Amino acid sequence: MTTGRIVGIVLVIAGVVIFACVGAWVGLGVAGQGTGGLSPVGALFGLGLFGVVPLLILGGVGVFMFIKGGQEAIEMADVQKKERLMGMIQAAGKVSLANAAIELKMTRDQVKNAILDLVNQGLFTGFINWKEQTFYSKDVAQMQTTKCPNCGGEREAVGKGIVKCPYCGVELYLPQ
């Protein structure tokens, strides 16, 4: 569980506890009305001001923190998958798209999008052979030539950080 979710739960519990304490205090004051206790109007005012308002504030902030913590946990899991994908490709030099998808519990499209995100962040250089459906990691110096590392043919630019070989169809991912 993330810190945001824990803080959210603590704030909601604090709001409920404050509301319960104020409710008990007001209840005791109303019960002792004959001996100089609280009037019903004073009890409602006290319960609203010192019980409901803190409950709404602490509960609202707590719910916000809980939801935000959940979103952060999802984003962190995505970052960790990208780190694992980078590590897999760099350690082995090449990884099949199917193996990466299975090991990371992602779809093929999610793996491809993760690679594109890493390319756009300047963290990954290499190429993918779509016929073999395999990712290859290469050093930047090896990728700076105009020759395709797969077939040796001249390549052309096809987009932001992506270069495509017109001969074998390999997409090369270059840092920007």
Predicted pLDDT at 137: 83
Rounded Cα gap, residues 126 and 79, in angstroms = 19
Domain that holds residue 155: 94-173
- Shared-domain flag, residues 38 and 107: no
- Shared-domain flag, residues 98 and 74: no
- Shared-domain flag, residues 49 and 101: no
E strands within the chain?
Answer: 94-96, 126-129, 134-137, 156-159, 162-164, 171-173
**Does residue 121 lie in a domain region?**
yes
**Does residue 135 lie in a domain region?**
yes
Total structural domains in the chain? 2
Distance (Å) of CA 163 to CA 73, 114, 146, 159: 34, 17, 10, 7
Higher confidence at residue 2 or residue 75?
Answer: 75
- Shared-domain flag, residues 48 and 98: no
Where does a domain end: 80, 107, 135?
80
Residue 130 has pLDDT above 90, yes or no: no
- Shared-domain flag, residues 72 and 102: no
One-character DSSP codes across 24-67: HHHHHHHHTGGGT---HHHHHHHHIIIIIHHHHHHHHHHHHHHH
Q: Per-residue confidence at 68, pLDDT binned at 50, 70, 90?
A: very high
Give the least confident one: 40-44, 94-98, 104-108, 156-160: 156-160
Predicted pLDDT at 136: 85
Distance (Å) of CA 137 to CA 50, 85, 96: 62, 11, 12
**Does residue 89 lie in a domain region?**
no
**What is the pTM assigned to this prediction?**
0.65
Higher confidence at residue 18 or residue 175?
Answer: 18
Question: Residues 43, 48, 52, 53: is their CA dihedral positive or negative?
Answer: negative
